Chain A
Amino acid sequence: MLPWLTALMLALLAYGLYGGLVLAPADYQQGDSFRIIYVHVPAAWMSMFIYMMMAVSGAIGLIWHIKLAEIVSICSAPIGASFTLLALITGSLWGKPMWGTWWVWDARLTSELILLFLYLGVIGLYNAIEDKRTASRSVAILALVGVVNIPIIHYSVEWWSSLHQGPTVTKFAKPSIHIDMLIPLLVMAVAFKVYYVIALLLRSRNELVQREQGGRWLDDILEEK
């Protein structure tokens, strides 16, 4: 299955990149710098989507004691964190030419930064607890608490930035996005999702091997090699 997924991802990525970098017309305000959108926005979407996935599969693992759900939950964390980091870096790279500074305390960037902290907390907690079953269950609780909090955090940050900044920076306010710009964006988003699945499968396999040392089926696999 992995080769197929990889091929699919590469195809989607190629099309998305071509569409985004070549086909899409330059933005009349931002020029070519808006092309960062094709990594920035999908990465930001993924960062939230993966957190949701982590919490949901964590909850499933917590309630029904399904090992696989626990593994999916914890293996999502580093991938999500890397997407969050990516969204932050690209956001900052986009901000420099647009606003003239590397960092603006804009609502979305700030929320994203806090999300990164939440991810770091999850990863830190998982690594700190020695018994991996307990660890993944603890992490699931934390992720659920985080999910309940994210809307509150997001809302408060939004409110905060409107209070402190005034309506000067409205970078994402584009009421009508050109269809040639939109399609590559969606394709890139799908490509990132497929990437997530691939990375998740790879990580889950490792985690499973690590936990099931001494299991029978592992011996069988080794026998084949």
Chain B
Amino acid sequence: MAMTSPTSQPSDFWHRIQAIDRRVLYVLLLVVIILPLFVPIRLPMVTMPSTQKLYQAIESIPEGGFVIVSATWSGGTRAENMPQTEAILRHLMKRRLRVAVFSFDQQGSQFSYNIASRLAKEYNYEYGKDWVHWGFRPIVGVVMKSLVRDIPGTFTTDRDGKPTKDMEVMKGIRDIKDVDAIVEIAASGIYMDWIGLVVGANPNLKFGFCPTAVMAPETYPYMDSGQIVGIMEGMRGAAEYEQLIRATGLATKGMGSISLAHVLIMLLIIIGNIGYIATRARGR
């Protein structure tokens, strides 16, 4: 299907639009990716039901509720997972819910701490009182099984090794029944472990999942069955979420770039085909 580019090109218009130099395409791409960083581009946005559901689930948590955010991602998927983490934490802090962050990934632990502490400043969240970071926790199965029965016992210390026992944020939190929601931001199939080991243990627990766009389709069945309460799908989901909580963050900018890039690709495909059809029609 991939024809090697023709060596001798007739210089007429229809042929030329079929063989635009790749460097021209690359410059165009760079322009559409960079532009929205500097010029805010507002594109029409339709919120997907999956994003809406996640937002409503968080909205329905009573004030002072306790939410666990797990950020199991690393640098490789920063582009999608960072805006998601930021959007969800922003919403939780806006609603003044108690937040506990941790990660099954070493890098994710660092990233999520940076994001949370930056937002904490913005929303006057006090560490230890309003939020806590439990740090990096290896071995998924062990942590999940144990947090169902005993949360303070599972996370005895925070990321700096300080004991969590007397922290105000953990007051009254004993086991999974005291948790209102868990949101996992991940680039892997870890949602299956949450569903298998944790979600069923508390019927009122809301489990939200924020996968990368590539991962998302395989999670739809679990939203239909209600095991996942809502899904924030890649950067696009994050952009929609930002719109729902009325914040313009990284995802809105990113989505501007990404949408324009899609439009660029689609236009190029159309142009190429017009040229192809035109030359073929003439060839007959």
Bound pair (A, B): no
Q: Measuring CB to CB, which residues of chain A are less than 8 angstroms from any residue of chain B?
A: none
Q: Measuring CB to CB, which residues of chain B are less than 8 angstroms from any residue of chain A?
A: none
